Amino acid sequence: MVNLFGAVGSRLAAMWLSMLSFTAASQHLAQIRRSLAELEASAQELFEAGRLADHLPALGQALEAAERHLTAETSAEGQELFFMVRVLRGTIHQQAAGLDDLAVEDLNAFTLSNPRFWDEYYAGVSGNGQFDWYGTWDTEILWPHGRTTLGSVIRPWLRREDSILMLGCGRSDMSEQMYREGFKNITNADISATLLDSLRQRLAPEMPGMSWRWMNASALPLLTRADVVLEKGTLDALKENPGLFQAAVREAYRVLTSEGLLISVTDSDLELEKLARFSCKAVSGEVLDGKTLHVFICQKLAESWFSTLKSWSRLEL
């Protein structure tokens, strides 16, 4: 353990000095992204070993240095990185000190479960362009028997007439692509009114069957009903807050019609299985520059909340 923390401490010191030397010029953004990934991995090691609080000052200094240099960045990538830094800093403080979202916000940082983060994020990131953390309908993956797409994995479980609730739609173009394929009855739900207003103004004229509604995933409107609840990263954003995470899954179950589907695209292969009355397996594979994703497709049944419809073998890009 001494060697582990010696190695982690050395990496943190090196990353801190590296971040202090950064400028916000676009040629350095890839380097910043790599350093943030290394810092996040170091923080995870420390958290698992119970020593995250001991290294909180060094982690905080490294992230604050990166944040300062990214403040004036005007490129889309630089702005994304700025918000990633704020969330990483907030999440580390939350895990190290057991803080709630409001206490983290007092540190001028955020967690992904804080609604204010998403309003600031969508107001601060320039442009109306599409952005997907995990991939979208046409993201390519390679099965052992050939190349396919994320949409091809999901499409067989959908009917054209299904009412689909896109839970935590974000700036993904997933629902737009689905609409163009004939899935017209889509409600895009998000906790950011800023984002929803922007999407509604841009898309409503050409996609009259879709709607955009403000919803809190952990407390959906009482009368909401859907044949399919499709979420992509929303549960991952809540998983550091177990109460909100479990509430969101319960709400997804509640609003589903009889034998409705919960379809979850996630970077975790365990979170749904941790909850009682779930038995979900996943399509899993490497997409988006090596990111491993899992697709859970679960059906609401009378005798239990969900049961697995089908499981697939591992995908390889």
d(CA 229, CA 227) in angstroms, rounded, equals: 7
- On whether residue 316 sits in a domain, the answer given is no
d(CA 88, CA 93) in angstroms, rounded, equals: 9
- Residue 7 clears pLDDT 60, i.e. is over it: no
Q: Is residue 291 domain-shared with residue 204, that is, in the same domain?
A: yes
Q: Is residue 165 domain-shared with residue 243, that is, in the same domain?
A: yes
- Residue 309 clears pLDDT 90, i.e. is over it: no
Q: Is residue 82 domain-shared with residue 191, that is, in the same domain?
A: no
List the domain range (segments joined by +) for residue 7. Answer: 2-111
Among 111, 130, 151, which residue terminates a domain? 111
Q: Is residue 30 domain-shared with residue 87, that is, in the same domain?
A: yes
- Residue 213 clears pLDDT 60, i.e. is over it: yes
Q: Is residue 90 domain-shared with residue 144, that is, in the same domain?
A: no
Domain containing residue 292: CATH number: 3.40.50.150
CB 11 within 8 A of CB 41: no
Q: Is residue 80 domain-shared with residue 10, that is, in the same domain?
A: yes
Question: Which pLDDT belongs to residue 11?
Answer: 42
Residue-wise pLDDT tens digits, 68-87: 888 888 887 788 788 888 88
Strand intervals (E) in the chain:
140-143, 146-149, 164-167, 186-190, 211-214, 226-232, 256-266, 282-287, 291-300, 306-308
d(CA 226, CA 239) in angstroms, rounded, equals: 23
Choose among 247, 219, 249: nearest CA to 231. 249
Q: Which helix H or strand E contains 238, and what residues bound it?
A: helix 234-238
Higher pLDDT, 257 or 144: 257
Question: Which pLDDT belongs to residue 33?
Answer: 80
22 Cβ contact list (under 8 Å, min separation 6): 28, 31, 32, 65, 66, 69
**Percent with pLDDT over 70 in the chain:** 74
d(CA 305, CA 227) in angstroms, rounded, equals: 15
Q: What is the mean pLDDT of residues 89-97?
A: 89
d(CA 264, CA 315) in angstroms, rounded, equals: 17
93 Cβ contact list (under 8 Å, min separation 6): 56, 60, 99, 104, 107, 109
Q: Is residue 99 domain-shared with residue 199, that is, in the same domain?
A: no
Choose among 128, 202, 200, 213: nearest CA to 167. 213
pLDDT category, 145, cuts 50, 70, 90? low
Q: Is residue 98 domain-shared with residue 147, that is, in the same domain?
A: no
Q: What is the mean pLDDT of residues 227-232?
A: 95
- On whether residue 224 sits in a domain, the answer given is yes
Q: Is residue 64 domain-shared with residue 145, that is, in the same domain?
A: no
Question: Which pLDDT belongs to residue 297?
Answer: 84
Sign of the CA dihedral 7, 8, 13, 19?
A: positive
Q: Is residue 216 domain-shared with residue 299, that is, in the same domain?
A: yes
- On whether residue 134 sits in a domain, the answer given is no
Question: Which pLDDT belongs to residue 98?
Answer: 86
CB 140 within 8 A of CB 149: yes
Higher pLDDT, 8 or 26: 26
Q: Is residue 230 domain-shared with residue 83, that is, in the same domain?
A: no
pLDDT category, 127, cuts 50, 70, 90? low
Q: Is residue 144 domain-shared with residue 27, that is, in the same domain?
A: no
* Domain count along the chain: 2
Strands 164-167, 140-143: pairing is unpaired
- On whether residue 117 sits in a domain, the answer given is no
DSSP letter for 18, please: H
- Residue 8 clears pLDDT 50, i.e. is over it: no
Residue-wise pLDDT tens digits, 168-211: 998 899 999 999 999 999 999 998 888 999 999 999 999 998 99
Helix (H, G, I), strand (E, B) or coil at 165: strand
Higher pLDDT, 273 or 186: 186
Q: What is the mean pLDDT of residues 121-130?
A: 65
Backbone angles phi, psi at 298, to 5 degrees: -130, 145
Residue-wise pLDDT tens digits, 237-270: 887 777 888 889 889 989 999 888 999 988 776 5
pTM of the model: 0.73
Question: Which pLDDT belongs to residue 60?
Answer: 87
- On whether residue 220 sits in a domain, the answer given is yes
Choose among 246, 306, 258: nearest CA to 282. 306
- On whether residue 62 sits in a domain, the answer given is yes
Q: Which helix H or strand E contains 100, and what residues bound it?
A: none
- On whether residue 18 sits in a domain, the answer given is yes
d(CA 298, CA 281) in angstroms, rounded, equals: 9
Residue 163: Cβ within 10 Å count = 17
- On whether residue 42 sits in a domain, the answer given is yes
